[in-house]
Structure formats: structure tokens, C-alpha cells
Structure 1
Amino acid sequence: MTDQKVLIIDDDRLMRNSLVDLIEAAGWTTKALARATDAERWIDQFQPDVILSDVRMPETSGLDLLKSLSAAPPVVLISAHGDIPTAVDAMNNGAYSFVEKPFDPKRLLLILSHAAENYQMQQSNLRLKERLRELSGVDRILLGQSPQMHRLRDMIAMVAGANSAVLVRGETGTGKDLVARMIHDLSSRCDGPYVAVNAAQITAANLPHIAHKASGGTVLLDEIGACPPDVQPVLLRMIDTGEVLPVDQGGPEQIDLRIIAATNEDTDAAVKAGTLRADLIYRLDGFSIDLPPLRERRDDIALLATRFRQEFATQYDCVPPPLEEDELSALMAHEWPGNVRELRNLMDRRVMMARHGMTVPQDTALDTKPGDTHKTGLRTAVAAFERQMIGKALHAHGGRMEDVAHELGIGRRTLNEKIVKLGLDKNALL
């Protein structure tokens, strides 16, 4: 049996009754209408997963109905007068499918089933995305309008609806624990416990305790690459069988939990090095989520910095300090080895300094490259960033100063002054 619902619209009473009998015999719930003018009211009231409508009807045709509906379930049109132009018109106006009478009952049911399943999946994703937006703490790390962040939020919403294991990869500070928590909060296990443990601290003895503690919910195995070798086969067995073996307590016990693993390591390298079992990673990698480092989504830096300044200003009961142009340029030039966490901590210090009337020191240390031990001040970082931006623009526009100034959003005179100040050789860049 199915819980899918179809709204049937056909002015022919015999055909309408025949469709109701056929579709209800397949386990569907139906609502049948004799005219399309009543459709919108019943769509709101009946909440169908698919609409099956005749094309030629008095007052409002099936094609007219299709064109008038917005954000409605998929529409399957059926007609004894079907021809290629009508079918093309129907599909161009958003029909899910077009079926001619006489029709094959099995084919019609299959089309309706596929249409309803697609619609239900779309609705489920929309609900998950809405819950994702409402979750407290989402903005802390998942704030951003870059394509990478849109894909990440969509991936989280999709994965949350499944029950498979998830492997979250990302550098330090990208928000792996928050993503894992969001997957739990968006899932059907949201009312169950969420237990986060450091995989390096798991032993074969305490694994049953962890499993029981997380029963009905989700367990996050953070830094899975550090899981002790002797624990990995025990963990693998637990994933494969859904059972744990309590110490000195007889036979195996069933457990019900979802596992999310997180790591900032290269798991392939760990497998090759023999520190991580390949079969364990295969089991944990039901879904993979890769968190983008901040340096790969620089368009989000200003947005994140602004949000963090507002957050800490509220916390410290003060006015958010303005983000000066030199500061923003330095932030944009920085490589962010600590990712969003590093930016958030920096904005914390920035607001605290402003609250106490302190200005940003010119020797504020920001690495220009990951692992570079040479520290540069804000002015040096700004100069490096401006030199890079102006150089690229000069090269891209063949030295045409008006075009370069327009791209950079500055005046021609300002551009000339910056070229001189930065010691740029215009000819060498072309």
C-alpha cells in the first residue's frame, strides 16, 4: 500500500470513475473532480502528490489549468485527442507527462508513481532546508552566499534525510562538529541523543558504553584517523551487524544509532600508511561531505566578518566597530590556516579592543601563506593584496587604465597613485 494521493480531473463520469477504481486498487488515495475550475481549492485542501487531468473539458481545459498553476504538484495530462503539437505544448508548459487514451493501466500507474515520488522528495528537501535555516548556530560557520556554501547547505539537507553513515572532511576550523550536529538535528533522530567523542580516546571496552549512550540518536567519531588500530575491527563489526559485545555480559546486544565520522586528514594516505583500515572507511563513507576552506570562498569573508562583529558587539554590549578598507583588504589577502574559527576569534579581539577604545595595531600578525613563519603587518598585507589585484587587472585589460579603474571600482587618479606607491612596473605586467 502507498500513502500517495492523486487529484483526478475529468468531465467524463465513466472515465472519472474508471480512473478512481484503477488508482485506488493500486493503494492510492484519490479525489475526483468533474471540472478544473475547482482544482485550486482542492489542491490546497487535499494536498495531492500528483494531478491527473483530462485535456479537453468545458470552461477550463487541462492545458489552461496547467498554465494557471504555480508551485503545484506535477501534472499528468490525459486525452483521447492527443497529438504531437498538444503533447509538445503540454510539456513546454510544465506537464510532467502526457498520456493518450486508450492507455496502458500499468504505464499510467508507473508515471503517476514516479511523478509523486519526485514531488515528495522535493517537498522533503524544502522542509529540511527550512529547518536548516531555522537552526540556531547555523550562521556561526555556515553563513555565506558563495556557491560552495549553497552546495554545502543543500548537501546537508539531503544527507539528513537518510540513515547512512556520513564522513565529514575538512581542515581545522571549518566546522565539522557543527555540520555533524546539524545533520542530527535535521534528521528523524533529532529527538534522540547526540554524542560526540574523540576517536583517539575510544577503547574496545568503552565502545559499548558510547553506543548505548547514543542509542536512538547519532554519534560523532571526531578525528577518525586517530582511532586506535585495535578498536577499528570492533567498530567495523558494530557498523556491519548493528551489535555490540558488552564486556562480561553474555551475547551481543542490538544498538540503534547513526554514525558520523569527521577528519582533517587525508584518509587515502592514512589507509596507505596502514593506520586506518580501508574497509572501515568504506563503511563510514556512505555519504561524503567536504567542507571548503575559507581561502576558497573569499567572497564570504566580508559577510562573515560583519556577522561576527555584530555577534560580539551584542555579547559585549557595545557598538560594532566599522571595518576599515585597509582591514578588509588585509582579511581578503590572508590565507586563513585556521579557517572560519580563526576569523571569528580575530573579530572577537577586534570588538573587544574597540570596546576599550583601542585601535587596531599596524603590526597585527596575519600569515600571507599557510605555514609561512614570516609575519606581516596590516599595511604590508594590504599592499600585497592591492599589488596582486591591480597587476591582474592591468594584464586582463591590456593596460587600459580606464577599464582597470572601472573594474577595481576606483578613480583613474587613485589608480595612478597606487601604481606609483606600490612600485608596479606597468610594462612588465602586460
Structure 2
Amino acid sequence: MPDAFTAFVIDDDREMRDSLGVLLERAGWQVTRFQAASAALERLAALSPDVILSDVRMPAMSGMDLLDRLQGNEDPPLVLISAHADIPMAVDAIQKGAYSFLEKPFEPRRLLTIIRHAAEQHRLRRSAQQMRTQLVALSGLDRVLLGNSPAVTQLKQDAIDLAVAKGPVLITGQTGTGKEVVARALHRLGPRSERPFVALNCATLSADRMEEQVFGVVDGQQGVFRKSDGGTLFLDEVGTISIEVQAKLLRVLETSEFQPVGSDRDVRVDVRVIAASNEDLECRVAEGRFRSDFLYRLNTFHLHLPPLTERGDDIVFLFQHFVAQLSETYEIAPPELSADDAAALLAHDWPGNVRELRHVAERRVLAARRGGGSVAAALQNDSSHDDVPATLRDAVARFERTLIGQAIRSHEGRMDAVAEALGIGRRTLNEKIVKLGLEKSDFLN
């Protein structure tokens, strides 16, 4: 048996309040009665009702005032009742988010039907939210997208939704915000997770060989579309692609077909395209350097990664996370974060975003290894002696970390290929990764 529905009944008229309470209780509801809306709001978080039934005209806080206060996604639905209702009032209430509006005297059976439907929808919505939260945790997005700011929380939820969608995704954000990390998460969470993920940095392509690298050559080099068939193609810095190649990419997105260089026959592929840019592509369209139809096709779904300066207290949280991780790598106790350190972190403009923050954390840890340092000093991004490891062990650890990270990035996270490139066994590689406190995703943004 499911738990009984719960309701708040708010009315300054005691007889009406008791009458409504008895009606609901006889129908199996658990009811809490309130004379004033303000008192109900004080108990809202603690009792978390499935629905709120409130009179409109009440002293101090009216039903419409209460409606204005109930705008959160997790707030219960509000059903308003009034003996002085008119059509404009009812329309206004519904437009502002009320679940329903009833005029007194109302038919009891109709009231019970309305609030039951409201409660059922609220429970379904709440259950879906809980499942999404669990999925975020299970998927590893909490590790990839660290932080609890509203922007990052919403981003995690959006990523869950877009992972199972079929259309192209455009990820925008400043340098260092983790666009490739998010793209890989979308691939890993979606139905193509067992198929290839191919990343292409469009800015590194030579203009005269771009078509060959993208579409391949007949009876020769295989392009990235063929390599990613069945999986995901990530086009980083997509704004750097030439107008001519954009036109051909648009055709692939619309028809799933392309012609390799030197061929007059179409090749059909099944590829989901995720593109990323740190530029304003709308501006490039206005300048005539980017096709508007190509942008609209890429922008079927859009994720914007907020810069670090818009993530509030996440800056301090992320810094402490990186410091703890790097302190394990260099085998020291994590340096304490002083008030001056926190102030320095929050005052910095972070042009390099999360990537820069991690570098600052590493410089802070290295300075702490020698018994000194501060965040302010670590923010002085130069090649001073503070960046030099104090002991041979520190130097070896840092060298191994850098070398392994470069290999992970070069081989796009394929760990067997990483181990082969480093000339060590897969088991040895795993042991070093654990000892150094490394996360593969740290090197794929």
C-alpha cells in the first residue's frame, strides 16, 4: 500500500478549515490545518506535503501571495479556493502557476479528484527528480562536474537528459571549463557508449587537408566520420572550420551521408555529432565566417558550461578537492586554507577556469611541501622556484604524473594504448594511477 497523500489546508475561517480537513481525512488523507499561510510556509520543508489547499482572501498573506512564494521546482502544487472569485482572478492564478482554482461552494467529489491528481503528479515529479539525482551520482557526473552551485547542478541534470537524445549537441564555454569532459560523459551515458568516441580538434587541422581528415580519401585514409560510425564524433573548436567544409558537414548532419575525397559515391554512417566552441558563433555568423544553417543544425541541443567566476563557492570547494588529491600524490598533509587564501581564490578572475585552478592547487601543494606558500603566491603564474619540486621523490612523482597525463590525452583515454606508449604493463599503469591519485577525466578536458 502506498503512503497516504498529505495535504496542508489553509483558511482563516475555522469552520471552513475544519470542514475541508474532515473531508480529506475521510478520503484517507493526512491533513495539517493552518489559520495563516505564513505558518504553513514555516512547516513546508519539514512536512513536505503532496498538495496545498488554500483560501484566496486571508489577512496578512493571501492565497495569491502564497502562490508567489511557491515557485521552486520541488514545491507542492497549490489549489486555490475562493468565495469571491472572478474569471480574471482565476486566469491570473493559473498563469502564475496554481494547479487549479475552485469557487465556493464547490462539489466535494470534484475537489477530491483535483487534489488527488495534483498529489499524484507531484509524487511522480519528485520520484523522477530523485532518480535523476541517483543517475547523476552513478554516472560519474558528480566526479566530472564537481561542485554544488545552481549552474552546475542544472548542468548535471541537463546532461542526463541530452545523453539519451539523438540530435547534435553544441557545448559552449570558456577555455578550461571542461567541454570535452562533458562530451565524453554524454557519450558514456548514452546508448552509443560501447561504440567509438572520436575527438577532433578542428583548430589543429590544416586547411588543405581538412576534408581528407574529416571525410577520408577513397581507397586510402579513413576520415573521422568512418572512424566514429555507430558512436560519437566530437568536433572541438568547431568555429575554426572553413565555410566550404561547413557546407559538407551540414549535408552529413542532414542526410548521414558523405563522399570521401576523390569519390563520387556516397558513404552512409550513423554518427552523433557533439560540437564545442569557446567563441560566440552567432558573432561569427554575423561576420560571414560561419553558416547560420550549420549553426542551427549543430544547436539542436545546447549546453553552456559556466565560467568559474559564476560558480560562487564552488571555487573554494574545487580548490580544496584538488589540493587534497595532489597532496596524496606528493605524500604530504593538505595545507590548510586560510581566510586570506579563500579571499584570493574568490577575487581572481580565472581566465583558465577549472584547468587553471588545478594548476594553482598544484603550485600551492608544492610550496607547502617546503613548509611555506600561499594561494596568493601560487596565483603568480610564473616559472619561479615555487614550481620546482623540493625532493627527487617529488620531482619523479610530478614527472610521472605529467607523462601519464600526456599519454592519456594523446590516446584519448584508451588505457591499453597508454600503457603500450609508456612501455609498461597495464597492471603497472593502474598501480601508478592509484598511487599518484590520478583521474583519467582530469586529462580529457
Which amino acid letter does the alignment assign opposite residue 197 of structure 1? L
138 and 150 in structure 1: CA distance in 2 versus 1, 3 angstrom threshold: closer
190 and 363 in structure 1: CA distance in 2 versus 1, 3 angstrom threshold: closer
Which amino acid letter does the alignment assign opposite residue 270 of structure 1? R
Give unmatched runs, 5+ long, in structure 1: 1-37, 41-60, 72-82, 98-114, 368-430
Aligned residue-pair number? 283
TM-score (norm 1): 0.58
- Provide the residue aligned with 2:143 in structure 1: 139
Is 1:321 paired with 2:350? no
The SS at the match of 2:170 is: strand
207 and 360 in structure 1: CA distance in 2 versus 1, 3 angstrom threshold: same
Contact persistence 2:167–2:300 (CA under 8 A): yes
- Provide the residue aligned with 1:198 in structure 2: 201
**CA deviation profile, 1:211-245 (whole Å, cap 9, x unmatched):** 11111111110001101222111111100101121
Cα deviation for residue 84 of structure 1 reads 3.0
The SS at the match of 1:212 is: helix
Contact persistence 2:239–2:277 (CA under 8 A): yes
- Provide the residue aligned with 2:108 in structure 1: 85
Cα deviation for residue 296 of structure 1 reads 1.4
**CA deviation profile, 1:45-83 (whole Å, cap 9, x unmatched):** xxxxxxxxxxxxxxxx9943899xx99xxxxxxxxxxx8
Cα deviation for residue 246 of structure 1 reads 2.4
Q: Find the aligned partners of 1:302 and 1:204 in 2 and give their Cα distance.
A: 44
Q: Find the aligned partners of 2:226 and 2:26 in 1 and give their Cα distance.
A: 56
The SS at the match of 1:221 is: strand
- For residues 9-408 of structure 1, the aligned pairs below 5 Å read 63-64=27-28, 84-93=107-116, 95=118, 127=131, 129-136=133-140, 138-140=142-144, 142-200=145-203, 201=205, 203-208=210-215, 209-249=223-263, 251-360=265-374, 363-365=377-379
Cα deviation for residue 183 of structure 1 reads 1.2
Q: Find the aligned partners of 1:284 and 1:165 in 2 and give their Cα distance.
A: 5
Cα deviation for residue 157 of structure 1 reads 1.3
The SS at the match of 1:262 is: strand
Which amino acid letter does the alignment assign opposite residue 195 of structure 1? V
The SS at the match of 1:162 is: coil
Cα deviation for residue 250 of structure 1 reads 5.0
Q: Find the aligned partners of 1:125 and 1:274 in 2 and give their Cα distance.
A: 43
Q: Find the aligned partners of 2:274 and 2:295 in 1 and give their Cα distance.
A: 11
Contact persistence 1:168–1:290 (CA under 8 A): yes
Q: Find the aligned partners of 1:329 and 1:365 in 2 and give their Cα distance.
A: 12
Contact persistence 2:309–2:349 (CA under 8 A): yes
Cα deviation for residue 126 of structure 1 reads 5.3
62 and 39 in structure 1: CA distance in 2 versus 1, 3 angstrom threshold: farther
The SS at the match of 2:334 is: coil
Contact persistence 1:195–1:219 (CA under 8 A): yes
Q: Find the aligned partners of 1:153 and 1:62 in 2 and give their Cα distance.
A: 42
126 and 232 in structure 1: CA distance in 2 versus 1, 3 angstrom threshold: farther
Q: Find the aligned partners of 2:370 and 2:140 in 1 and give their Cα distance.
A: 29
Cα deviation for residue 262 of structure 1 reads 0.4
Contact persistence 2:237–2:276 (CA under 8 A): yes
- Provide the residue aligned with 1:402 in structure 2: none
Contact persistence 1:174–1:291 (CA under 8 A): yes
Q: Find the aligned partners of 2:193 and 2:320 in 1 and give their Cα distance.
A: 31
Q: Find the aligned partners of 1:129 and 1:186 in 2 and give their Cα distance.
A: 14
Q: Find the aligned partners of 1:287 and 1:63 in 2 and give their Cα distance.
A: 45
- Provide the residue aligned with 2:436 in structure 1: none
Q: Find the aligned partners of 2:358 and 2:285 in 1 and give their Cα distance.
A: 34
Tell me which structure has the larger Cα radius of gyration. Answer: 1
Q: Find the aligned partners of 1:176 and 1:296 in 2 and give their Cα distance.
A: 16
TM-score (norm 2): 0.56
Cα deviation for residue 161 of structure 1 reads 2.1
Which amino acid letter does the alignment assign opposite residue 201 of structure 2? N
Q: CA RMSD in A?
A: 3.6
Cα deviation for residue 169 of structure 1 reads 0.7
Contact persistence 2:175–2:353 (CA under 8 A): yes
285 and 256 in structure 1: CA distance in 2 versus 1, 3 angstrom threshold: same
Give unmatched runs, 5+ long, in structure 2: 4-24, 32-48, 51-105, 216-222, 382-445
The SS at the match of 1:230 is: helix
Q: Find the aligned partners of 1:276 and 1:222 in 2 and give their Cα distance.
A: 15
